[in-house]
């Protein structure tokens, strides 16, 4: 499959051009009408705090708009002003919190169908429904023709507060992904998981599962935050593990030193070919994230002395070329790398730094 984003503004700065793939976006509905219970209220309120805490002031929305925004808002923010060439929907169900779900495959599909050259649609599966879930998953795949899957392991379902990627029924679903030709699996950890007395953010199940399915790509959202160290470790062990920058990106404004450390660590352990830009729209907006990332430099003090410079080519890879490779997105010649590979690819592992 080949895919090409058309008719968008190319972001150009200091003579450098950038192709942008926003690998994690939502078209959610958390309006009061769709909110089922106090957990749904708590969830969107928590999202809003993330938005307010890390956005530049001029990009903060009123709460009402944040709960449910329009198609026009989205097209404007991503493509008209946000420099995005192609955006990837990561469907998130949360049907225990929202009557019609938060942003389901069905809801996101309406926009993908309307703007097929701008959006890629990722679906999801629910392993805790076992055999029934497996059949539903295949039916949904046939109906919506999604490209990859997004898995939220902390999702609540009946009495369960979460699941692990290497649970039996999850493995069965991943086998089904292989059978259907789905190759990109986005994994998102959250604060609850059974059993509740273990660390819910632990990414060890990604490690085990990535070894079992070397043909699949595992994109760990939020680069494993708050377990950046565990994520970096498994990234050195498993060549098919990638880091999605959703949630990490906005620190570039609010906590620039922390952002610089995250990026420096990721480049050191994973290398420049396995890091993917994302805004997590509408949590944050791509316009300011792209602009600030293109301008990014490490702070000048000793803490950052041994990090290598982030060149325009490295920025091009992170902003779009790495995701384009995973999703077979056609990139115009003029937006490819300017210089040849500078040999700064995967550089280190805990055994061989």
Partner 1 sequence: MTVREAVLDALSSVRDPELDEPVTDLGFVSNLEVESGLVSVRLRLPTYFCAPNFAYMMVADAREALLSVPGVREARVVLDDHYASAEINGGVNGEKGFDGAFEGEAEGPDLEELRRVFHRKSFVARQEKLCRELLAQGYTPAELADLCLGGLPGPRSTAARQYLERRSDLGLDVSGTAPLIVDPDGNRVPEAAVVRHLRFARTVRVSIEGNATHCRGLLATRYGSSRVVGEKPDREETAV
Contact residues toward partner 1 (CB under 8 A) are 38-39, 42-43, 45-46, 49-50, 52-54, 159, 161, 190-192, 194-201, 225-229, 232-233, 251, 254-258, 261-262, 265, 268-269, 299, 348, 350-353
User: Which CB sits closer to partner 1, 87 or 267?
Assistant: 267
* Shortest Å, Cβ 252 to partner 1: 13
Distance in angstroms (rounded) separating the CA atoms of residues 214 and 326: 14
Q: Closest by alpha carbon to 283, among 111, 36, 52? A: 52
User: Which CB sits closer to partner 1, 207 or 313?
Assistant: 207
* Shortest Å, Cβ 259 to partner 1: 9
User: Which CB sits closer to partner 1, 192 or 336?
Assistant: 192
Strands (E), 235-343: 241-244, 275-276
Distance in angstroms (rounded) separating the CA atoms of residues 155 and 92: 9
User: Which CB sits closer to partner 1, 270 or 326?
Assistant: 270
* Shortest Å, Cβ 20 to partner 1: 25
User: Which CB sits closer to partner 1, 339 or 352?
Assistant: 352
Residue found by looking up tokens 């890629």 in the block: 120
User: Which CB sits closer to partner 1, 216 or 234?
Assistant: 234
* 23 and 244 Cβ atoms separated by less than 8 Å: yes
Q: Three-class SS of residue 273? A: coil
Q: Which two tokens stand for residue 344?
A: 């700064």
* 195 and 187 Cβ atoms separated by less than 8 Å: no
* Shortest Å, Cβ 159 to partner 1: 7
* Shortest Å, Cβ 212 to partner 1: 24
* Shortest Å, Cβ 250 to partner 1: 10
Length reported for the chain: 353
Instruction: For residue 89, give the H/E element and its range.
Output: strand 86-90
* 108 and 121 Cβ atoms separated by less than 8 Å: yes
Q: Three-class SS of residue 96? A: coil
* Shortest Å, Cβ 239 to partner 1: 19
User: Which CB sits closer to partner 1, 97 or 125?
Assistant: 97
Q: Please state the three-class secondary structure of 38-86 as a single string.
A: HHHHHHHHHHHHHHHHHCCHHHCCCHHHHHECCHHHHHHHHHHCCCCCE
């Amino acid at each position: 499959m080949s895919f090409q984003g058309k008719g968008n503004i190319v972001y150009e700065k200091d003579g450098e051009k950038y192709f942008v793939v926003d690998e994690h976006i939502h078209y959610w509905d958390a309006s009061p009408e769709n909110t089922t219970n106090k957990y749904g209220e708590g969830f969107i309120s928590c999202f809003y705090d993330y938005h307010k805490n890390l956005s530049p002031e001029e990009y903060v929305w009123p709460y009402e708009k944040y709960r449910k925004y329009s198609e026009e808002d989205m097209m404007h923010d991503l493509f008209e002003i946000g420099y995005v060439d192609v955006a990837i929907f990561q469907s998130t169900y949360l049907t225990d919190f929202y009557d019609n779900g938060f942003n389901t495959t069905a809801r996101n599909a309406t926009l993908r169908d309307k703007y097929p050259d701008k959006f890629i649609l990722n679906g999801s599966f629910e392993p805790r429904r076992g055999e029934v879930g497996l059949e539903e998953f295949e039916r949904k795949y046939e109906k919506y023709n999604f490209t990859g899957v997004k898995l939220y392991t902390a999702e609540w379902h009946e009495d369960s507060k979460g699941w692990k990627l290497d649970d039996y029924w999850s493995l069965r679903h991943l086998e089904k992904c292989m059978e259907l030709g789905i190759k990109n699996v986005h994994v998102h950890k959250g604060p609850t998981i059974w059993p509740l007395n273990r660390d819910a953010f632990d990414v060890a199940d990604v490690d085990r599962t990535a070894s079992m399915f070397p043909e699949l790509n595992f994109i760990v959202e939020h680069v494993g935050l708050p377990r950046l160290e565990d994520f970096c470790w498994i990234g050195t062990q498993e060549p098919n593990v990638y880091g999605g920058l959703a949630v990490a990106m906005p620190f570039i404004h609010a906590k620039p030193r922390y952002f610089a450390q995250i990026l420096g660590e990721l480049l050191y352990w994973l290398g420049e070919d396995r890091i993917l830009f994302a805004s997590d729209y509408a949590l944050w907006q791509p316009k300011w994230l792209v602009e600030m990332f293109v301008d990014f430099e490490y702070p000048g003090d000793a803490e950052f002395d041994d990090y290598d410079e982030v060149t325009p080519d490295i920025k091009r890879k992170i902003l779009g070329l790495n995701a384009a490779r995973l999703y077979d997105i056609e990139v115009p010649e003029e937006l490819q790398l300017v210089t040849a590979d500078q040999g700064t690819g995967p550089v280190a592992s805990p055994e061989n730094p």
